[in-house]
Structure 1
Amino acid sequence: MSTIKTLIFDFGDVFINLDKQGAMKNALELFELDELHEDLIAINTLYEQGLISTEEFTEFYTDNFPELSKKEIIDTWNYILKDFPEHRLEFIKKLAKEGKYKLILLSNTNELHISWIADNISFYEDFKSCFDTFYLSHEIKLRKPNADIYEFVVQENKLKYEECFFVDDTKENTDTAASLGIHVWNIDENKQDIVELFVINKDLF
């Protein structure tokens, strides 16, 4: 049996529900596209990694889609964000209170999304305070699934890879973490819930 000392959690579709398909459909309809062009994917990635500002990000879209307002662009960008079931907050609060594990949040996210969450999820600050460290990609200028983001977290917190357990809904992200020796759970957000962590992964805990 391994000794897990640190739990590292993704945010979207682990704690807060996302509508990835709906958001993509909504964006393609608004932009009148069949698929997202490479330059749009590239700018989204730069923004998520904090390599361009919110102003530069929205300006890029209003320049490329002049018929759309800045508000329409922002609303489309935030369309993906849905509800945050409170039983998941209770789960992380209980873990924090027990103090058995170091708790880290590691999320690919951006300024607009976090602003929306802070404004619309009443218990966001309570949630954030449960974690020993709270890493957002746009703040640390690193992004999953790149290996350097995991190396950064491990080094910054003086951890051992084999003593970490990482939960993420994106297989690409958990694959990279696993290749470094981190224990992982690629959660299926359609069938599983983070509160089942210790039941589903009982062989590790």
Structure 2
Amino acid sequence: MYAYIAGEVAKKAENYAVIDVNGVGYQIFTDTFSLNALKTGEQGKLYTYLKVAEAEMTLYGFATIEQKTMFEKLITISGVGPKVAASVLCVMRVNDIAAAVISSDDKAFAAVPGIGKKTAQRLVLELKEKVDIEDAVGDGVDMEMFTQDAAQEAVAALCGLGYNRQEAVAAIAAVKSLGDSAEELVSLALKRMGK
């Protein structure tokens, strides 16, 4: 119903902002990263998702389209509603979520308040079909020559060697066109990182 709401930021609270659009204040629940992008008294814009329930309508807002898209992917998972999805986005950035899924790191999700071990495992399992390396690396990366399975294995291998998810994804993305198998990608990534 609402693609985005733009106007003067009238108020910021712990988990929401009020945006004044021509005298109407919209209370929009949002994540920490999006809140930090807004400044009270200045113009702001949030891409929105409207949750309609029996007794209420709630707006959720995001600073970027990528955040909104990830939110919509998260709420498709059984047991993950808008509040839990918003909690995930408060703790993890979009590329962190994608990297955790790709490297099968359910512990990253279990660290989010309100998510238990089973829900964390379900998130990793069910999001595998919905996120890819491009989500983890971000815009501007040509993924045509990057084999998804090999990339996933290579990222998981680097995480197993002690690298954090973001380092692993960035390293594999940097060598994606130089190797076809996970082993080649890991070897090339390690050489590139000087290890």
Q: TM-score range by the shorter chain?
A: under 0.3
Q: Is the helix fraction higher in 1 or 2?
A: 1
Q: Is the strand fraction higher in 1 or 2?
A: 2
Instruction: Choose between structure 1 and 2 for higher RCO, CA contacts under 8 A separated by at least 6 residues.
Output: 1
What TM-score comes out, normalization by structure 1 length? Answer: 0.25
What TM-score comes out, normalization by structure 2 length? Answer: 0.25
